[in-house]
Amino acid sequence: MSELVEFTKAGGIAVVTINNPPVNALSPGVPEGIAEAIEQINDDATVKAAVLIGAGRTFVSGADIKEFDKIRSGEASGTMSFPDLLTQIENCKKPVVMAIHGNALGGGLELAMAGHYRVAATNAQVGQPEVKLGIIPGAHGTQRLPRLAGVAKALAMCVEGKPILALEALKFGIVDRLIEGDLLSGAISFAREIAGRPIPKTRDRTEKLGTPEESATIFAAALETARKKQRGMLAPLAAIDAVEAATKLPFDEGCQLERKLFMECLLSDQSKALIHVFFGEREVAKIPDVPKDTPTIAVNRAAVVGAGTMGGGIAMVFANAGIPVLLKEADQAALDRGMANIQKNYAVSVARGRFTQQFVDERLKLIQPAISYDGFANVDMVIEAVFEGMALKKQIFSELDPVCKPDAILASNTSTLNIDEIAAATSRPEFVIGTHFFSPANVMRLLEIVRGKQTSKQVIATSMQLSKKLGKIGVLVGNCRGFVGNRMFHPYVRESVFLVEEGASVEAVDNALYDFGMAMGPLAVGDLAGLDVGWRIRKEYRHLEKPGIRQAFAGDRLCEMGRFGQKTGAGWYKYDEQRRTTPDPEVEQLVRRWSAEEKISQRNISADEIVDRCVYALVNEGARILEEGFASRAVDIDIIYINGYGFPAYRGGPMWYADTVGLKRVYDRIRQFQEQHGEIWEPAPLLKYLAEEGKTFAEFTRGQGAIAEQPENSANSLFRARVLGRKYL
Ligand code: 3H9
């Protein structure tokens, strides 16, 4: 028997245990081991029934996603087809009881449904999350689930990919019994009860399938919702077709159609991108020079300085994670406003059904308002979230330093400022770090964690670990202006404004990027965030601009007219009291007039050019960041863009997208832009190198390791020295 599957007997009950840590994925060897066990069960007259269970913390969490590349290339290393195994289990002569704890996801649920009965621990979850990987269930899940749970529930589970808890699974007939206490002994007792009874096969059950006519409205509604809520994604549409087949075709034919759709999805760029994102979200937690066993500081109490929108949101994030937090403001009135905002935000969450009133009451007790530093001596971490100005931040840090205990972490929630300069205001720069939350902080998943020159590994490891506890995806970045996300966003927005100045309408620019998959177009984002924010920064840094380089002006001129975006009722668009958007013909006229004054020739610009200009501006800057060592790997940039900037996950992030297009093509296009628009489009040396070598960003980082105790000493710098030539040292 395979080492990954154990076979034992308890009385007349066979117990088959899958032992493939950490998540019991169906790696090569697992299906083979189960198949052998089933043969043994069939052959052994003393076995009356069987229990199949997972060792460790979970049942089976699905196919081994790492194997998908091999399936794509026809080189899968297992000797057994998983769907064939399921047929073999269903045809077993003795009843097989599937005992579920932890997760039964994807192939795990498909395995469970091929058994004759299912029992589950009360806190178990089951689901078909394949769409999140850009595929659909590929081993009869779309055919067996509607037979057990009914068409509507199966459709929702396969199309949205959200798992459900055991109690709901019981209600829908996906499991037959919940087991309190020890799962294995409960499952064995259950197996004894049903041994000798007729053996039900899921494939034969049709009572919940309804007729195609009855289900037609369910499928039509699912299609409409998927097109809206999972805009641009192929897999949810394929999942609808596959579940529909269960209502129209005999079981085996339905399975064949499912397999065909599964393979089409698996071969798509979307599934490759989404699988890159799945592993990427886990990879970003691994910091090349901060080993996994680096000691961390327990963060049991925290404090936030500044109760504005960001500070209040951050305090909610701590409270939601169960960490008591002091929230400090300079005066009582500002503090009262901050607390009132927090209460308002929580009330909205209750109204929307996201939280219960009881949960909110408990969270509010964890947020303690303060107007002095009393109590700061007891906290393990402070997040400063005051107005974005260097002098103020330095002052706050110099006040925090003497009142906080010596090993308390002092973090600055900054989106652009130099963390080393802030750290220099304290006597403990190794305990200073940047934590760039995204607005609204209690909603957005991304957290850029900014490493200063002297930030200790312990503080980095603690912050990374904390981000997970706070429900965020923490990505470590280097200390450069704008860090990773905003540094790249700048050229992206610049291009969107250039395009408008060259003749594209505001809506044409936003629509092209929305259709590409961005959550919002860049100009609409500007209106939402406030155009004045970027305008102020540009004014502050104007003296650093190189003369003779084209600068976008239309956004600044709108600001000069008091058009700051949504908050003033007008920006690139017009807004009514409910902040509903309409295009503004006045903006169109103004921009045409300004462009004529500036002698910018006007032309028709295609949606393709709009996308190339804006997205390749991201890619080119991303390549520089990578090369300079301010991001560890290309995937770190991808995860930042997907979780903080609305980049479509099914395109894998900007760097992965560029790899998919082919870096040679991207480079050639950027060279064209350079010829048309000058030096702002100079290709990043790393992009040029990879394009010429026929390589990808993903390969570069995999080969080279990564950031960056100091960007100057990073492996990437060694790479620069070796490959790009002396000029970069
Ligand atoms: C499928 O089943 C298709 C079928 O229809 C069959 C078709 C023929 N494979 O997330 P964690 C790794 S598609 C390989 O940190 P948690 C993960 O990368 C699949 N590796 O733990 C990580 O590695 P590392 C459908 C996997 O407790 C480690 O395990 N199933 C897989 O926070 C721990 O993972 C899914 O989509 C896998 N399937 O969460 C479920 N799963 O330590 C995907 C995990 O090196 N998995 N790893 O970074 C999950 O959602 C979560 O892992 C789970 C546990 C909820 C199970």
The predicted pLDDT at position 271 comes to 98
312 phi and psi angles, rounded to 5 deg: -60, -45
Percentage with pLDDT > 90 across the chain = 88
Q: Please tell me the residue having the least CA distance from ligand 1 atom 47.
A: 23
Ligand 1 atom nearest 64 alpha carbon: 9
Residue range(s) of every CATH 3.40.50.720 domain in the chain? 302-479
Structure confidence at residue 415 as a pLDDT band (50, 70, 90): confident
Q: Could you report the per-residue pLDDT of 461-502, keeping only the tens digit for each?
A: 999 999 999 999 999 999 998 999 999 999 999 999 999 999
- With H, G, I as helix, E, B as strand and everything else as coil, classify residue 302: strand
Whether 718 shows a pLDDT value over 50: the answer reads no
Instruction: Please identify which residue in the block is written with the tokens 């910018």.
Output: 600
Q: Residues 525-549: pLDDT tens digits?
A: 999 989 998 888 788 777 888 888 8
Instruction: Tell me how far the alpha carbon of residue 512 is from its chain's centroid.
Output: 23
Convert the pLDDT of each residue in 586-641 to its tens digit.
Answer: 999 999 999 999 999 999 999 999 999 999 999 999 999 999 999 999 999 999 99
Spatial separation of the C-alpha atoms in residues 171 and 556, rounded to whole Å: 58
Mean pLDDT for the stretch of residues 312-326: 97
Neighbours of 298 (CB within 10 A): 10
Centroid of ligand 1 to alpha carbon of 53 (angstroms):
18
Cβ distance 370 to 378 under 8 Å? no
Ligand 1 mutation target, pool 61, 100, 131, 271, most atoms within 8 A of CB: 61
Cα 331 to Cα 204, 328, 350, 397, 683, distances in angstroms: 70, 9, 29, 18, 50
> Residue 675: pLDDT band by 50, 70, 90 thresholds?
very high
**Which residue is closest in CA terms to ligand 1's atom 28?**
22
Strand-pair partners of 583: 573
What is the CA(647)–ligand 1 centre distance, in A? 23
Identify which of 18, 20, 23 to mutate to test ligand 1's pocket (most ligand atoms within 8 A of the CB): 23
**d(CA 484, ligand 1 centre) in Å:** 28
Confirm if 145 and 110 have CB atoms less than 8 A apart.
no
For the CA of 103, the closest atom of ligand 1 is: 56
Q: Which residues contact 720 (CB under 8 A, 6 or more apart)?
A: 627, 685, 728, 729
- List of residues 6+ apart from 21 with CB closer than 8 A: 55, 56
Per DSSP, the three-state class of 385 is coil
CA distances from 263 to 76, 154, 227, 253 (A): 13, 20, 21, 16
Instruction: Give the pLDDT band (50/70/90) at residue 722.
Output: very low
Cα(88) to ligand 1 centroid in Å equals 25
Q: Let me know: does 146 contact 247? Beta carbons within 8 Å.
A: yes
Q: What is the mean pLDDT of the chain?
A: 93
Looking only at the bridges linking them, the beta strands covering 581-583 and 573-575 are: antiparallel
Are the C-beta atoms of 577 and 570 separated by less than 8 Å? no
- Give me the count of residues in the chain: 729
pLDDT at 708: 41
Lowest mean pLDDT, pick from 125-139, 239-253, 654-668, 709-723: 709-723
Q: Is the pLDDT of residue 459 over 90?
A: yes
Please report, as a single letter, which amino acid is at residue 205: R
Residue 323, pLDDT > 50, answer yes
pLDDT recorded at residue 212: 83
Nearest to 678 by CA among 451, 487, 421, 498: 498
What SS3 state is found at 180?
A: coil
DSSP state of 711: G
Q: pLDDT band at 59, cuts 50/70/90?
A: very high
Using DSSP's 3-state secondary structure scheme, residue 126 falls into: strand
Statement: residue 374 has pLDDT above 90: yes
Hunting for tokens 């408008």 — which residue is that?
500
In the numeric block, the tokens 């840094």 are attached to: 541
Can you give the pLDDT at residue 715? Answer: 42
User: Is the bond leading into 402 cis (omega within 30 degrees of zero)?
Assistant: no
Name the residue of 4, 26, 58, 65 whose CB sits within 8 Å of the most ligand 1 atoms, as the mutation to test its pocket. 65
Residues of the chain with CATH 1.10.1040.50: 483-729
What DSSP string describes 24-80?
T-B-TTHHHHHHHHHHHHHH-TT--EEEEEESTT-S---B-GGGHHHHHTT----SS
What's the pLDDT score for residue 534? 84
Is 506 a residue whose pLDDT tops 90? yes
In which residue ranges of the chain is CATH 3.90.226.10 found? 5-267
- Report the atom number in ligand 1 closest to the C-alpha of 136: 5
The answer to whether the bond into 708 is cis (omega within 30° of 0) is: yes
pLDDT at 579: 85
671 Cα–ligand 1 center, Å: 41
Which residue's C-alpha comes closest to atom 42 of ligand 1?
A: 282
In this structure, are residues 128 and 153 in contact, taking their beta carbons and an 8 Å threshold? no
- Alpha carbon of 60 to ligand 1 centroid (Å): 9
Element (H, E) at 725: none
Enter the DSSP assignment of 568: G
Nearest CA owner, ligand 1 atom 10: 282
How far lies 42's CA from each of 96, 191, 202, 492, 715, in Å? 11, 16, 19, 63, 57
Is the distance from CB of 139 to CB of 87 less than 8 angstroms? no
Q: First-to-last CA distance in the chain?
A: 57
Cβ–Cβ under 8 Å, residues 720 and 627: yes
CA 431 to CA 457: how far, in whole Å? Answer: 10
Q: Which atom of ligand 1 is nearest to the CA of 278?
A: 18
Q: CATH fold of 302-479, please?
A: Rossmann fold (3.40.50)
Amino acid letter, residue 107: G
Catalytic positions are 110, 130
> In angstroms, what is the span from residue 289 Cα to ligand 1's centroid?
25
Strand partners, 474: 447
What is the dotted CATH code of the domain comprising 483-729?
1.10.1040.50
Q: Taking a C-beta distance cutoff of 8 angstroms, is the pair 399, 414 a contact?
A: no
Of 3.90.226.10, 3.40.50.720, 3.40.1180.10, 3.50.50.60, the CATH number of 5-267 is 3.90.226.10
| pLDDT tens digits, one per residue of 12-50 | 999 999 999 999 999 999 999 999 999 999 999 999 999
Q: Rounded to whole angstroms, how far apart are CA atoms 242 and 245?
A: 5
Residues touching ligand 1 (Cβ under 6 Å) are 22-23, 25, 61-66, 82, 103, 105-107, 110, 129-130, 133, 137-139, 141, 279, 282
The ligand 1 atom at the shortest distance from the C-alpha of residue 71 is 8
Which pLDDT belongs to residue 73? 85
- What are 86-142's pLDDT values in tens digits? 999 999 999 999 999 999 999 999 999 999 999 999 999 999 999 999 999 999 999
Mean pLDDT, residues 444-456 taken together = 96
Instruction: State the pLDDT at residue 1.
Output: 63
Distances from the Cα of 522 to the Cα of 491, 531, 547, 565, angstroms: 11, 11, 26, 12
Position 583 pLDDT exceeds 70: yes
By mean pLDDT, which of 295-304, 444-453, 566-575, 720-729 is the weakest? 720-729
Ligand 1 atom at shortest distance from the alpha carbon of 141: 5
Q: How far apart are CA 339 and CA 333, in angstroms?
A: 10
